[in-house]
Amino acid sequence: MSALLLMAPALLLLLVVFVWPLLDYAWLSLQAQSVFTGLEAVPVGTLNWQRLLVDGRFWQDAWQTLRFAAVSVALELVAGLAIALLLHQRWRGRGVVRGLALLPWALPTTVMALGWRWIFNDPYGPINGLLQLLGLATLPFLAAPELAWLATVVADVWKTTPFVALLLLAGLQMIPDDLYEAFALEGGTPWQGLWRITLPLLRPYIFIVLLFRLAQALGVFDLIAVLTGGGPASSTESLALYAYLNAMRFLDFGYSATVMLGMFLLLLAGAGGLLLWRRQTDAPQEVRP
Amino acid sequence: MRGASRRRLTAIGLGLGLSLAIGLLSWAWARPAAVVRVLMPAPFADATADLVATFNRSHRDVRIAVTRGPFETDAVSDLAISSLLLGDSPYDLLLMDVTWTAKYAAAGWLQPLDPWLGPDALEPLVSGARAGNRIDGRLYRLPLVADMGLLYWRTDLMEAPPRTPDDLVAISRRLQEQGKVRWGYVWQGRQYEGLSCVALELIAGFGGHWGPGEAGFGLASPAAARAAGWLQQLVREGISPPAVANFAEPEALQSFEAGEAAFLRNWPYAWQELQRQGSAVAGKVGITTMVAEPGQPHAATQGSWGFSLLAGSPHPDAAATVLQALTGEASQRQLVRRYGYTPTLTALFDDPELVAERPLLPELRQALEQAVLRPLNPGYAQLSDILQRQLSALITGRGDPALAMARAARESDLLLRASGQEVGAQPKEVS
């Protein structure tokens, strides 16, 4: 009984900031509340959900959001690990570089997205300037659907790799040095050490990174809103951007709530998969050369 | 943003409180002033700062408190809508883009202005500026400045501007082959509202009409398909750069200002930018209306800003006084002279003194008479989004114009039907 009492504040908070909005959205998704109803909520049953199921744009955006999240998080994980390993070594000037490496993460997303919009500018941006210098044709990075989504990935990787590196660096520092020493005595190479010691022991940290980053990347909004506005031809539009358009531009709150909930359900499935994967791979590992 | 504006409001409130205290001490008869709070996009807040200060000096019972909104149109709309959704809006007056009126009115956020301005409120305006303010016979907005799509052309490269789409392509190609310009025509091809503005003019110029009255909101017509096809052709044949698919107004202006293109589609503001020092085309630019097929109108998309009275205003009388003062002749005259905005009052276009100072005014008036209005529909933002999506795909090289427009037509009809509006109904009477 006292346990429940002690937990009550936390539970209450969770109820207010999480469960209540969710229920509110679930209710809203069963209403037509839009500019056409004078913003009055009119119950329409599952009409919004039926529309969602056949809304090609929702599924296109879901695929694009997933693709964006998968590719950028994978690249961030690899680059972040490399940077973390580098910053874990002892060398002169490491402190300064550690500080500098965090800069992109500290920059507000809107600001850095505006910067990247300029960097990708055709033909005046620096990248196209470089291409012209090399005698190559300029590329319309933000004006071609097959390039624009890669541009959003590049900007996101640049911005969030430091965050991944920071978390993994914390993990690296938890691994005792004598493990590596014993491993070297037994004749193991540093490359083998990375696979047999570092990565297995980093697994909980990688899991945290994946959880944070996937949740963030799947909800990506500001970067894309500023960099491409979802274009060209909606090829970079994310689900969050679509939900925003429905609410703030079209004033269709019922459908916007449905899109958000649809996205939430997809996220939930993703998180469930990740948890399952963790359960299966979390068995204690033996460390052997 | 909200924090900043709240802090500003607090600061303004404190300032007002202080002046009120002093006022009470000085004049025992002083009544507390009604504070009329106005939200404007930053450029307008800056341009009207003097006018507001003058008003506040000369009125004791009404004071204007301006909130300087963001620069971008969409960001201003977001700010306004967020505050309106919370119920009690912190503003009395809102400076609105012409496309918002129908949506805001349908949401119940606006008060009709008729009780204060009477039935003849739009009479002093040039005819091209009258549209888009009245919905279902009620006046919801009074325009402050006019805006319309213009075709800028290089006077040093050709004798006369092109009048048909084929002309424009032919002149562009010739100049490009001669190496005089890299590109023929730059315009707004980014997937955003600007693309709908470009399309509206062209669909009219090809003999069509984007709006109610026809199936598919006018997009099922061959004219719409030809207009869309022409935009696709421009990029495909290299008359316009591929990057145009990400051009908004500044990017298109930049390219034209650098002397890279023979033609530019932009708003009147671009004129001053093109004449400033450092512009490669200063003194070599002419303006005209958009190209059109023979016999079709040379249309100019209307894009004006005007004041609306919000429904929750606690003192609508004072707000109406402010609205009339800010849109009045003295106010507009100053905006024209100091900032180069386009007025909406006939008297100002006819004023020889002002015309001498701003020789562009007669041409702007001519373009304004050709103004076409984006559809006045509560669902306009979504209808526009449907069109932009298909056009953006065409410009980036995907798909067939007729199919794309047919798809946009179908989606538009679906939306109208779902919202309980008639499909292919006669246009609402708009004056």
C-alpha closest to that of B245 among B229, B253, B234? B234
In terms of domains, do B46 and B142 share one?
Answer: yes
Same domain, B186 and B330: no
* Residue B20 belongs to a domain: no
Q: Find the mean pLDDT for residues B364-375.
A: 92
In 3D space, the residue among B168, B165, B158, B125 whose CA is nearest the CA of residue B143 turns out to be B125
| Yes or no, beta carbons of A38 and B243 under 8 Å apart | no
**Closest approach of B389 to chain A, Cα-based (Å):** 5
Residue A283 has pLDDT above 60, yes or no: no
Residues B317 and B383 in one domain: no
CB contact under 8 A, B245 and A140: yes
Whether A9 is in a domain gets the answer no
CB-CB neighbors (< 8 A) of B398 in chain A:
145, 233
* Residue span of the structural domain in which B104 resides: 33-147+304-369
For residues B147 and B166, give the distance between their C-alpha atoms in angstroms, rounded to a whole number. Answer: 26
Residues in chain B with CB shorter than 8 Å from the CB of A249 are: 74, 77, 381-382, 385
- Flag whether A16 is in a domain: no
The answer to whether the Cβ–Cβ distance between A39 and B108 falls below 8 Å is yes
- Report chain B's mean pLDDT, rounded to a whole number: 90
* B7: number of Cβ within 10 Å: 10
Q: Which of A36, A122, A230 sits opposite B243 (nearest CB)?
A: A122
For chain B, the residues whose C-beta falls within 8 A of a C-beta of chain A are: 74, 77-78, 81-82, 103, 106-108, 189-192, 241-247, 251, 254, 378-379, 381-382, 385, 389, 392-393, 395-396, 398, 419-421
Same domain, B208 and B309: no
Residue of A nearest to B99 (CA): A249
Do B237 and B256 lie in a common domain? yes
Kindly identify which residue of chain B lies nearest to residue A35, measuring between CA atoms: B107
Q: Which of B190, B191, B419 is closest, CB to CB, to A36?
A: B419
State the Cα–Cα distance between residues B227 and B6, nearest whole angstrom: 47
Q: How far is B115 from chain A (nearest CA, A)?
A: 23
DSSP three-state, residue A252 = strand
pLDDT in tens, B216-263: 999 999 999 999 999 999 999 999 999 999 999 999 999 999 999 999
Domain count, chain B: 2
Asked whether residue B403 falls in the same domain as residue B289, the answer is: yes
Domain boundary among B369, B387, B408: B369
Dihedral pair phi/psi, residue B197, rounded to 5°: -65, -45
Chain B neighbors of A123, CB-CB under 8 A: 241, 243
CATH (domain of B260): 3.40.190.10
A271 pLDDT above the threshold of 90:
no
Query: A232 to chain B: which residues are within 8 Å by CB?
Result: 190-191, 245-246, 392-393, 395-396
CB contact under 8 A, B242 and A142: no
Task: Clarify whether residues B124 and B180 are in a common domain.
Answer: no
pLDDT of residue A91: 86
pLDDT band at B430 (very low <50, low <70, confident <90, very high): very low
The shortest CB-CB distance from B246 to any of A35, A36, A140 is to A140
Subunit contact A231:B191, Cβ cutoff 8 A? yes
Residue B62: enclosing H or E segment and its boundaries? strand B62-68
| Distance of residue B342 Cα from the nearest chain A Cα, in angstroms | 27
Q: How many domains does chain A have?
A: 1
Whether the pLDDT of residue B31 is over 90: the answer is no
Q: How confident is the model at residue B17 (pLDDT cuts 50, 70, 90)?
A: low
Domain CATH number, residue A80: 1.10.3720.10
What percent of chain A clears pLDDT 70, i.e. is strictly above it?
97
**Percent with pLDDT over 70 in chain B:** 91
Q: Is residue A289 one of the residues assigned to a domain?
A: no
Cβ neighbour number for residue B23 with a 10 Å cutoff:
17
Domain with A143, as residue range(s), is 43-281
The 3-state secondary structure of B342-389, one letter per residue: ECCEHHHHCCHHHHHHCCCHHHHHHHHHCEECCCCCCCHHHHHHHHHH
Q: State yes or no: pLDDT of B136 exceeds 70.
A: yes
Residue B234, C-beta contacts closer than 8 angstroms, at least 6 positions apart? B169, B184, B185, B240, B244
Contacts of B103 in chain A (CB under 8 A): 35, 251
If asked whether residues B267 and B183 sit together in one domain, one would say yes
Q: Which pLDDT value is given to residue B19?
A: 65
B231 and B336 together in one domain = no
Q: Is residue B5 included in any domain, yes or no?
A: no
Mean pLDDT of all residues in A54-68 = 95
Residue B234 contacts residue B385 (beta carbons within 8 Å): no
Same domain assignment for residues B275 and B343: no
Residue A30 lies in a domain: no
Q: Which chain A residues touch B if contact means CB-CB below 8 Å?
A: 34-36, 38-39, 121-124, 138, 140, 142-145, 148, 228-235, 245, 248-252
Please give the Cα distance from B431 to B122 (Å, whole number).
9
**Alpha carbon distance A79, A90 (integer Å):** 19
Residues 6+ apart with CB under 8 A from B162: B153, B168, B170, B171, B263, B291
Give domain status of residue B212, yes or no. Answer: yes
Are B381 and A249 a contacting pair at CB < 8 A?
yes
Instruction: Enter the pTM of the model.
Output: 0.88
pLDDT at A273: 83
For residues B268 and B302, what is the distance between their CA atoms, to the nearest angstrom?
Answer: 11
Tokens of B258: 């650098």
Closest of A283, A253, A239 to residue A27, by C-alpha:
A253
Dihedral class, residue B118 (left if φ above 0, else alpha if ψ from -120 to 50, else beta): left
